[in-house]
Structure 1
Amino acid sequence: MDLNLLRALDALLQENSVTRAAERLGTSPAAVSRMLARLRRAVEDPLLVRAGQGLVPTPRALELREEVGALLRGCDSVLRPGAGFDPVHLDRTFTLQAGELMLVRTAGALVERVRAEAPRVDVVFLPEALEDGPALRQGLVDVELGVLGHLDTEVRTRQLLRVPLVGLARAGHPLFDGRRITARRFAAADHIGVSRRGKRLGPIDAGLADLGLRRRVAVIVPSHTGAMLLARDSDLVTLVPEDWLPDTVAALGLRTFPIPLELAPLELGMAWHPRNSADPGHRWFREHVAAAVLGPE
């Protein structure tokens, strides 16, 4: 049966009036009268009969009243976005691709949030090895997190943070001798580059070149953890996002300093494939990823 007919029947049985049912449905009394005629033919019962100036339900109509109302509530629940979603019943694995520095900052908070609401949800963290491929499109990754690039055109994104870069060196580094750290002194220090592909040049080098300066990238490592440990044990300097893992920086005996260049901040965000946009479980997971990145307000 047409769902609109069921809605009309529900309104008629609740109101016992064609006029009031029409007002409830946002249509005309004539249209409701036509629907009542169709309903009478369908159930082979008059449903509402004249009694003085009004209408009264037949015994068959009284039988149908609660049943039709329950049926419509069930339909509305099924069709409502995220109908019936409760994370406590979610039994699912989500895959999150993130760089090491993002992982260290967010994994603990994310796992804590997820486990508190959905104890049967598992999270798989992947490195950025798939960032240039169609991993989101193929469903290999649910959410990509970090500096976004090389994404398929249909992929959805959400910007989360804009974070300035700062320099990082051991607390006893000669740069911290009390003199101002100028662009020339910064360029004169030997640097650690962080690149999984061995890339040597970046925005820092372009900024120095604008000032007629050049730095030496003496070592390239594939991870920020490796760069931080190497900076701790040498006079090499490296770069990290500002206010990123301050307890770890202090515990390693490291110290940050402003980079004496005009640099654009890192734009950190997350990406996902549009087929998951409306999925209530995926939407719930994305919200927790964002909250873990942004931290407490």
Structure 2
Amino acid sequence: MRFNRLDLNLLVALDALLTERSITRAAERLNLSPSATSNALARLREYFDDELLVQVGRKMAPTPRALGLEEAVRDVLVRVDSAIAIPPQFDPSTSDRTFRIFASDYTQLVFVPHLLALASAERCAARFDFLPQVSNPQRSLERGEADLLIIPRGFLSPDHPQELLYAEDFVCAVWRDGTMARGPLSAERYLAAGHVVMQPQGGTGSSFEQEMATRHGVTRRVAVTSYGFATLPALVVGTDFVATVHARLARQMQQIYPIELRPSPLPIAPMEQCMQWHKYKSQDPGLVWLRSLLRRAAVRMDAEPIKA
């Protein structure tokens, strides 16, 4: 199909080239040969009268014209996908669809089992693909690389629909045999201790650090960073470090590791865990079903007895 003399199939190639910044990797993404992908780039250059991608050392860099096209091309492809490629009905028992969901390891441990249990009860044949935590999940949603985000409210995009799933409190985990487990965990002891914190891949900061600085005017001494939440309780074992952890996750890990849980001596606002989906996919029957399942999973999780 052509529009204003442009073969619209070339937009798919342009999107892959701008994403991968490599003819070889773009070819793999498109299931084309490198020569066919190189030919597509040549046709794109001719149409836009611009190099689009130029060789800089061993990498290809986009031109200003290409950068201006990147988000517009992705937006067009997401619109086409949501309007044309999505089936008008969804039956979870017969669907071969893959739902791509951005969710942290914390979410997968405490919440996702409830989601999968409900999906299994409906004999769901669809596949769930949980994507790794990154510092900018909104980009995955914008680019159509994720169907749905399950993230704290503070990280949501203002440009797409959102819905609260549940609230989560925080507790402090310390080694059962360490000095931090002896006596009350005061604010002074908390701030003087080394802290084990989660740092997302590609991230430059922590929401905890931001909250501590903004709300309390203090800074924690970070001793250890990890790319996942589930490791934090284990990393305090054998040390006098403190890990400030989601309460549900902490209670799970207390069954495995020799740790004690203490209330945070500094008030930490509960985390509001939300789901967010692309505005163009609000009527997608599969995502309508999935969002309903997520709501029910949150109710199921909240009804679960609290472990000591």
- CA deviation after TM superposition for structure 1 residue 136, in Å: 1.8
CA deviation map 1:234-258 (0-9, x unaligned) = 2211111223352322321112111
CA deviation map 1:5-59 (0-9, x unaligned) = xxxxxxxxxxxxxxxxxxxxxxxxxxxxxxxxxxxxxxxxxxxxxxxxxxxxxxx
Residue of structure 2 equivalent to 1:181? 185
CA 250–170 in structure 1, closer or farther in 2 if over 3 Å, else same = farther
Q: Which is further off, 185-194 or 144-153?
A: 144-153
Q: For 1:245 and 1:118, locate their aligned partners in 2 and report how far apart those are by CA, in whole Å.
A: 31
- The one of 182, 190, 193 aligned to 2:194: 190
Does residue 291 of structure 2 align to residue 286 of structure 1? yes
Letter in 2 for 1:281: G
Q: TM-score, length-normalised on structure 1?
A: 0.63
Letter in 1 for 2:192: A
1:275 match: secondary structure? helix
1:88 match: secondary structure? coil
Residue of structure 2 equivalent to 1:224? 229
CA 198–232 in structure 1, closer or farther in 2 if over 3 Å, else same = farther
Q: For 2:120 and 2:278, locate their aligned partners in 1 and report how far apart those are by CA, in whole Å.
A: 24
Q: For 1:290 and 1:247, locate their aligned partners in 2 and report how far apart those are by CA, in whole Å.
A: 22
Q: For 1:106 and 1:164, locate their aligned partners in 2 and report how far apart those are by CA, in whole Å.
A: 14
Q: Which runs of 5+ in 1 are unaligned?
A: 1-81
CA 255–98 in structure 1, closer or farther in 2 if over 3 Å, else same = same
- The one of 124, 139, 144 aligned to 1:139: 144
Does structure 2 conserve the Cα–Cα contact (< 8 Å) formed by 1:159 and 1:270?
yes
- The one of 96, 99, 103 aligned to 2:104: 99
Residue of structure 1 equivalent to 2:120? 115
Aligned residues: 212
Letter in 2 for 1:202: Q
The CA RMSD measured in Å over matched residues stands at 2.5
Does residue 169 of structure 2 align to residue 199 of structure 1? no
Residue of structure 1 equivalent to 2:8? none
Q: For 2:154 and 2:210, locate their aligned partners in 1 and report how far apart those are by CA, in whole Å.
A: 15
Q: For 1:204 and 1:249, locate their aligned partners in 2 and report how far apart those are by CA, in whole Å.
A: 25
CA 237–296 in structure 1, closer or farther in 2 if over 3 Å, else same = closer
Residue of structure 2 equivalent to 1:275? 280
Letter in 1 for 2:254: V
Does structure 2 conserve the Cα–Cα contact (< 8 Å) formed by 1:165 and 1:239?
yes
- Fraction of identical pairs, as percent: 24
CA deviation map 1:163-216 (0-9, x unaligned) = 222111112232222x3222112112211121123536332344553xxx6532
CA 187–223 in structure 1, closer or farther in 2 if over 3 Å, else same = same
Q: Larger Cα Rg: Structure 1 or Structure 2?
A: 1
Does structure 1 conserve the Cα–Cα contact (< 8 Å) formed by 2:175 and 2:181?
no
Runs of 4+ aligned structure 1 residues displaced above 6 Å come to: none
